[in-house]
Structures are given as structure tokens and as C-alpha cells.
Amino acid sequence: MYKIVRKKVLNPTVTLMDIEAPMVAAKAEPGQFIILRVDENGERIPLTVADFDREKGTVTIIFQIVGATTEKLNHKNEGEYIQDFVGPLGVESHTEGLKKVAVVGGGVGCAIAYPIAKKLHNLGCEVHSIVGFRNKDLVILEEEFGAVSDKLCMMTDDGSHGTKGLVTDALRQLIESGEKYDEVITIGPLIMMKFVCALTKEFGVKTVVSMNPIMIDGTGMCGGCRLTVGGETKFACVDGPDFDGHLVDFDEAMERSTMYKPFERSRHEETCNLFKKEAK
Amino acid sequence: MPNMSLKKNEMPAQEPNVRNKNFKEVALGYSAETAVDEANRCLNCKNKSCVAGCPVGIDIPAFIQKIQQEDFEGAYSIISASSSLPAVCGRVCPQETQCEGKCVRGIKGEPVGIGRLERFVADWHNEHCTAAAERPVSNGHKAAIIGAGPAGLTCAGDLAKLGYDVTIFEALHLAGGVLVYGIPEFRLPKAIVQKEIDGLKALGVTVCTNTVVGRTITIDELFEQGFETIFIGSGAGLPRFMGIPGENFKGVYSANEFLTRTNLMKAYKDDADTPIQHAKNVAVVGGGNVAMDAARCAKRLGAENVYIVYRRGEAEMPARKEEIEHAKEEGIIFKTLNNPVEILGDEHKFVSGMKCVEMELGEPDESGRRSPVEKKGSDFVLDVDCVIMSIGTSPNPLIRNTTKGLETNRRGCFVADENGLTSREGVYAGGDAVTGAATVILAMGAGKTAAKAMDEYIKNKN
């Protein structure tokens, strides 16, 4: 069992938790992920490591409440325990030798983009962060990004905070204004990453994406997380989760991510109803 | 008086049309009376050819004699001196090619039902014997086991009995390896596996789940932590795909994924949070035991038509005969001498069919099996909405990629000598991680051999 030592609501649909897992904390690096199970009947879900504290032995996860499992997880409080927590899994993000990088995050994906921006910043790399949200209420980690970025572009779809527009608008402007990046690192919804990649391809800027497909074991056993990258089948859990964005078949990845949508929707509703009943 | 019947006592089983709708165990086990009757078929031969066929060398005639005398606990003691998982082996061993394949009674008639008797004895013991195992006296040495599958569990059990302080590191949240994620409940109830693991814990073995060696901790760090010898039983978990068009459509599973969802994650139960596709028409590609398991699970999940698609003939199938028969009884349709060439998808990228070609058998290949050759112009479309690829697995690269000095062959398997010793001092390996995908009992045999060698290594070192 793994203790929740801190819980913080970042916005109505996104929660942060510090989980006591010293062995995972000792090894975790930005870009890697963990798999957790909330309870005995729970499914295994992958979440990318948002931060870690080797001394305290904690790993930070940030998750969006999208289904039954994240709903159940969100109902857990500080001091309570979750059933299973395993990691760090996957290959860490490549950060060596980078001098100037644009980190592009969208929505809850910013939770994963942040530790990479932080690591790059600590390595002395110039970091331009572009973060996008639907509206002001959904903004997360603004201060944190500010602290590790040489430039921060805050974008919202409706203009309720920062600049109105998409992350690709800001990135295009920066590139067109003459900013030369060694690499663009982008993490967020598949559709966003797809368009970031389309843009950077146009300008010939190397782009790394972090994929978060459906998976079970996270160690290469099930093959459920397979993607087509440069015409080859890759397993996100062991070959990734980072890939060369210009080679990823995003359309296929988007299709594959919808495999269990109807089940997830009905299971989420059931879980919500259950919690409502308990509340009464 | 020996029982000279030419036939084995039949194994009571659930009716095919009942069992293909539930996940309860198919074979129900012998009664004490039947077991004694079957035991009486054993001639207690002097040369014990059956023992030579057993990868862990159980003294088979001796335990069968005990059954004849109705001393079932005595029979258990004899089996457990050689095998640490009798209730498991009695159920999943390919006896027809091992002990029973060598049985003298099999020359004229059917061999003695050794597997069924082993199962009877193990179940009898589990039901009647509540005495806790005695904890062996510690010898003060620490051993680490990587992977809680059949090889690792056996190695752990043997070392614990010798007094070692044993810790098993398991990547998944549950110990058992293929016994819990792969082999279905209806063939091997998970309560039985749990009982075996509880038995190991009673011997003092520590099981650390959720620990991925190669990621959470490395082999070198285990040595730094004071483990003096290490056994790698990490299995062959990486699924293979065919590389044909359409394999990434929704509804194409590796057998590993399909079985893990069903067995480990209990997706067949209504209260499980893990989803699985309840397909109408399913094609399972492959002819091994895993393919049979996947097909029979798909049927139980409600599929109307489940096909086994295999490129050779039924005689060439690597699956146990009993599994093939059970599958057929349950209504699985065998499409042998057929090979998939493409998986078709609908506009939403769900599987809508599988294009196959007919095959015919040509000359024997290097494995001695007749190799299949495509019949030109014979392609047809099988109407399916789910495809399960069960064409083999290879070892996981995690450990070999994170450990210096561990030699592997071109298939990614660890190179180990006949005692399981790898290219690194103190590091032993066995099971599928060394041989590539094989059987539970062979992995157990390797775990056993390694345990003996590890003990000798520690003794010589100190």
C-alpha cells in the first residue's frame, strides 16, 4: 500500500498528489511514468511522473478526472492509501546537450511538461514554455512554469487568461520571429501534439512528443500501447513514452485511444452515482 | 491386485456446453475411490521410466504406491520432496510427452493417469492438511529472485528450505507470473496459486510486488544491498505480432493482453474496472496452449464463433492434445492450414474481418515439422470483429539492457550453462528467460537446478 502524503486540487478537474514510494522516487526522471491501481478491483493506469523528491521519498502525480479510476483516486484523501504504485517505467526524456528548447504543454499535459522544463532549466538550457488551457479556471502550474522558463506564453482558447489562441499560434510566432530551437518538446492532447508537429515539420525543427496510450503492465508484456512510428510498430511503455513527433502516426494513435470509450463512460457514470449515494 | 484396465479412469468434468459459459474449473478431479483405482493400474516397474520423463524427477511409482495404500499425505510428502507446486503441475503439465509418455502401460492401452493422481494428492493435502510448514533454520545468506513465475517460485522454495533468506521481486501487483496472468481460472484456479505462494511465505520467503528489476532497482544494486546470489526468472513476456497490414486496428490483441485483461485483471467479472472487448466473432492466430486458452476465454466472454487459425495441420499444433480436445468440445472452430495475410477494418478502425490464405504442407523444415506453403488464389475473408495474436513471445529486454556483463543470444535469451549460471558470477537464470517460451514444468525444473547450483556456489565461496 502506498500513502498519499499530500493532495492539492489544482482546478475542478485536475488534482495533484504526492505518493510515498521511496524506491520509485529514488530512480524517477522526467519523462518516465508510473502505473497505479487504486483498489483491489481497480484497473492499472499509467500516469507520467510530474515531480519527485528523492529525500522525502515521494513521487508527484497530477491527473485529470476522466473516468472511473481517476474519479476513485480523486476521492482518496491525504493520509489514505492506494493499492499499487509501480515505476519508474519507460525511458527518461533526453535532455543532454540541449541549449535552447521550446516546451509546449496543453491542459493536464502541462503536468508532464513541467518537470522536463525544470530539468532543462537546471541544466542551464534556455527554456521557452508555451502552455495552453481551455479557460482561466483550468490553468495549472503557472507559477512553477514561470520559475523555470526564460519566456512563458500563457494561452487560453477563450482569452480569459493570457493570450487568446492556441499553443501553435504562439509557437509559430516565436519561430517566425527568429527564435531558433534545438528542439521542441510537446505534451498534451494527441490532436494538439499532431498540430505542433505539423508546424515544426514545416520549419524543420526536431520535435519530441510524449505518448500516453492505453496500457496494462507497462513493462512490454501486453503490447496494448503499440504505436506506429516511422512505419514501425513501437511499444510506448518500453520504447517510449517519448518519440520523434514527426514520425508518429497520430491519426492511428487517436483511433486506438477510443477503444474502450463506451465502457469508460458508463463505468465513470456508475462510479459517480456510487459516490453520490455515499454522500447522501 | 493390479487394475489391468486398458483405459485411464475418466476425469470428471463440467459439461462442455455449461462450462463454455463460466470461468469455473473445467476438470473436477478424482474422488479418493477413483484415485485408488487408478493408482492400482501402476505396475511399480523397477526401472521407473516415468521418473526419467519428469523434469523435476518426482519418484512417481513411490507416490502412487502410497495412494494404493490410501496414505494420501504420505504420497504428498514424496511429491513435495521434488516439486514445489504439485497442485499446479497436476493441472498444467504436458504429461503425455513427459511421465505418461514413458509409462509402460501406455504401450498397450492408456498410460497411468499420473497427472490426475498428482492433482488428486495435492488437492487432498490442501483440503485436509492445515499444519503450517516449519520455518527452516536460517543459514544467514541472502538470495534474490527476479520474477514470481514458476521458475522463480520453485527456486525460491528450494533455497528457503535450505535456510536462505529469500526475497522475490515481481513487476506486477500479484505474484504467480504466467500462472496468474496467462493460464485462465478455468484451467488453474487462482486460489490454488495463492495457496502455493502462501506456502512459500510460511517458509519465510518475502515477496516484493510492484518492483520492476531493471527500472525500480538493478541487479548491481541488489548485490550492493547484500544479496549474495541472484536468480533471474523474468520469463518471455514480449508478444510477437505478424507484421501484416491492419494489426493496429481496434480489436487486435496480443494473447498476452487478452489473457492479462481476462485473468489478472478479472475483466470477465462485472465489478472489475478493466475493460475487454466482448466480441461476437473471434479469430485466434496460433496453435499453442496459449492460443487454446485465449480461444476458450473468448468463448466464455460470450463470442458466438471462435476460430483457431493455424498455418499448419492439427497434428503439427504445439498445444497439448487435451487442450485441443477441450477446446473442440466447447465449440471452438479449428481452421487449420490457414494463414492470415491482412486484417480488415471498418471506417472507425475497428476490426471487420481477416483475410486468410489456405496452406498445404510441404517438405519438413529444420524443426522436423512439415512447412506450410501458400495455395495460390485461395484467399478468403473470415468474418471476425476481434483478432488475438498468439504466435509466441520473446524475453523482455529490460534486465539485459540495464545489467553489464550479462550475455544474451540473438533471440534475447540469457545465456546460461546446464546449472543456470549466466556470464556473471553469482547470477543464475532459468525458465523462459533462457529457453524462450516453453512450459511451466520446464521452468520449474530450471529453477530447481539453479537453486542447487546457487547453494553450492555460496557454500564454496564461504
Residue B368 C-alpha cell reads as 522436423
The two beta strands, B229-232 and B427-429, are: parallel
Residue pLDDT, tens place only, A192-246? 999 999 999 999 999 999 998 888 999 989 999 999 999 999 999 999 999 999 9
pLDDT at B224: 97
C-alpha torsion sign, points B200, B206, B210, B214: negative
CA distance A17 to chain B (A): 19
Identity of the residue in B216, B248, B274 whose CB atom sits nearest the CB atom of A87: B216
DSSP assignment, residue B250?
B
Residue of chain B with shortest Cα separation from A91: B215
State whether residue B394 sits within 8 Å of chain A by CB: no
CA distance B252 to chain A (A): 9
State whether residue B397 sits within 8 Å of chain A by CB: yes
Residue of chain B with shortest Cα separation from A68: B273
pLDDT at B394: 86
Find the mean pLDDT for residues A71-90: 96
Identity of the residue in B210, B247, B272 whose CB atom sits nearest the CB atom of A86: B210
- Asked if the Cβ–Cβ distance from A83 to B396 is below 8 Å, we say no
Q: What angle do CA A213, B433, B176 make, to 5 degrees?
A: 70
State whether residue A27 sits within 8 Å of chain B by CB: yes
Residue A68 C-alpha cell reads as 472511473
pLDDT at B125 over 90: yes
- The candidate with the shortest Cα–Cα distance to B272, out of A74, A271, A4, is A271
Identity of the residue in A43, A223, A228 whose CB atom sits nearest the CB atom of B239: A223
Mutate to test the interface with B, among A33, A222, A261 (most CBs of B within 10 A): A222
CA distance B392 to chain A (A): 12
CB within 8 Å of B23: residues ≥ 6 apart: B184, B185, B186, B268, B300
pLDDT at A169: 96
- Can you point out the beta strands (E) in B16-95? none
Question: Which chain B positions have a beta carbon within 8 Å of A226's beta carbon?
Answer: 241, 248
Question: Which chain A positions have a beta carbon within 8 Å of B247's beta carbon?
Answer: 233
- The candidate with the shortest Cα–Cα distance to A220, out of A206, A201, A239, A194, is A239
Are the C-beta atoms of residues B162 and B448 closer than 8 Å to each other? no
CB neighbours of residue B302 within 10 Å: 11
pLDDT band at A277 (very low <50, low <70, confident <90, very high): confident
Cα–Cα separations (whole angstroms), residue A123 to A99, A119, B36: 9, 6, 74
Looking at the DSSP assignment, which residues form a beta bridge with residue A16?
A: A8, A62
Identity of the residue in A83, A89, A256 whose CB atom sits nearest the CB atom of B215: A89
> Which ranges constitute the DSSP H helices of B93-161?
99-102, 114-128, 150-161
State whether residue B409 sits within 8 Å of chain A by CB: no
Tell me the C-alpha distance between B438 and B449, whole Å.
Answer: 16
- Asked if the Cβ–Cβ distance from B257 to A256 is below 8 Å, we say no
Tell me the C-alpha distance between A173 and B270, whole Å.
Answer: 51
H or E, element range at B253: strand B252-254
pLDDT at A270: 85
Tell me the C-alpha distance between A87 and A29, whole Å.
Answer: 11
Question: Which chain B positions have a beta carbon within 8 Å of A219's beta carbon?
Answer: 171, 212, 215, 237, 396, 398
Tell me the C-alpha distance between B207 and B156, whole Å.
Answer: 10
Residue pLDDT, tens place only, B88-114? 989 988 898 899 999 999 999 999 999
Cα–Cα separations (whole angstroms), residue A86 to A24, A59, B210: 7, 11, 5
- The candidate with the shortest Cα–Cα distance to A132, out of A149, A108, A116, is A108
pLDDT at A280: 63
- Asked if the Cβ–Cβ distance from B237 to A27 is below 8 Å, we say no
Question: Which chain A positions have a beta carbon within 8 Å of B237's beta carbon?
Answer: 217, 219-221
Tell me the C-alpha distance between B323 and A23, whole Å.
Answer: 42
Q: Which residues 44-103 of A are in CB contact (within 8 Å) with B?
A: 44, 68-69, 83-89
Are the C-beta atoms of residues B281 and B354 closer than 8 Å to each other? no
Size of interface A-B (CB pairs under 8 A): 113
Are the C-beta atoms of residues A44 and A35 closer than 8 Å to each other? yes
Question: Which chain B positions have a beta carbon within 8 Å of A220's beta carbon?
Answer: 237-238, 396-398
Distance of CA B341 to the CA centre of its chain: 29
Are the C-beta atoms of residues A107 and A133 closer than 8 Å to each other? yes
- Main-chain dihedrals φ then ψ at residue A88, nearest 5 degrees: -75, 145
Summary mean pLDDT of chain A: 93
C-alpha torsion sign, points B93, B97, B103, B108: positive
DSSP assignment, residue A43?
P
pTM of the shown model: 0.93
Residue of chain B with shortest Cα separation from A41: B272
- Asked if the Cβ–Cβ distance from B210 to A85 is below 8 Å, we say yes
State whether residue A42 sits within 8 Å of chain B by CB: yes
- Which amino acid, one-letter code, is at B372? P
Residue B399, CA atoms < 13 Å, CB-side half-sphere:
36
Burial class (CB in 10 A: 0-12, 13-18, 19+), A267: buried
Residue pLDDT, tens place only, A152-196? 999 999 999 999 999 999 999 999 999 999 999 999 999 999 999
pLDDT at A275: 81
Residue pLDDT, tens place only, B353-362? 999 999 998 8
Residue pLDDT, tens place only, B60-71? 999 999 999 999
Mutate to test the interface with B, among A70, A73, A86, A268 (most CBs of B within 10 A): A86
- Asked if the Cβ–Cβ distance from B173 to A263 is below 8 Å, we say no
pLDDT at B243 over 80: yes
Question: Which chain B positions have a beta carbon within 8 Å of A52's beta carbon?
Answer: none
Residue pLDDT, tens place only, B135-171? 889 999 999 999 999 999 999 999 999 999 999 999 9
Are the C-beta atoms of residues B26 and B323 closer than 8 Å to each other? no
Task: Note the residue count of chain B.
Answer: 462
Tell me the C-alpha distance between B195 and B206, whole Å.
Answer: 15
CA distance A132 to chain B (A): 29
pLDDT at B17: 93
> Which ranges constitute the DSSP H helices of chain A?
22-27, 68-74, 110-122, 142-148, 167-176, 190-203, 236-239, 250-256, 261-279
Residue pLDDT, tens place only, B171-224? 999 999 999 999 999 999 999 999 989 989 999 999 999 999 999 999 999 999
Burial class (CB in 10 A: 0-12, 13-18, 19+), B252: buried
3-class state of residue B108 by DSSP? coil
CB neighbours of residue A81 within 10 Å: 14
CB neighbours of residue B348 within 10 Å: 10
State whether residue A275 sits within 8 Å of chain B by CB: no
**R_g over Cα of chain A:** 18
pLDDT band at B382 (very low <50, low <70, confident <90, very high): very high
Task: Note the residue count of chain A.
Answer: 280
Find the mean pLDDT for residues B261-279: 91
- Asked if the Cβ–Cβ distance from A88 to B348 is below 8 Å, we say no
- Which amino acid, one-letter code, is at A30? P
Identity of the residue in A84, A86, A224 whose CB atom sits nearest the CB atom of B257: A224
Q: Which residues 266-305 of B are in CB contact (within 8 Å) with A?
A: 266, 271-275, 277
Question: Which chain A positions have a beta carbon within 8 Å of B261's beta carbon?
Answer: 216, 222
Among A124-133, A269-278, B396-405, B450-459, the minimum mean pLDDT is found in A269-278
State whether residue B69 sits within 8 Å of chain A by CB: no
State whether residue B257 sits within 8 Å of chain A by CB: yes
Ranges B281-295, B354-368, B394-408, most confident: B281-295
The cell 550479462 sits on which residue? B406
- Asked if omega into A189 is within 30° of 0 (cis), the reply is no
Question: Which chain A positions have a beta carbon within 8 Å of B177's beta carbon?
Answer: none
CA dihedral B219→B221→B224→B228, nearest 10 degrees, is -20
Looking at the DSSP assignment, which residues form a beta bridge with residue B387?
A: B252, B283
The cell 529453477 sits on which residue? B447
Tell me the C-alpha distance between B54 and A224, whole Å.
Answer: 37
Tell me the C-alpha distance between B249 and A258, whole Å.
Answer: 11
3-class state of residue A120 by DSSP? helix
pLDDT at A250: 96
Identity of the residue in B211, B273, B397 whose CB atom sits nearest the CB atom of A42: B273
pLDDT at B232 over 70: yes
Residue B320 C-alpha cell reads as 497439448
Tell me the C-alpha distance between A194 and A209, whole Å.
Answer: 9
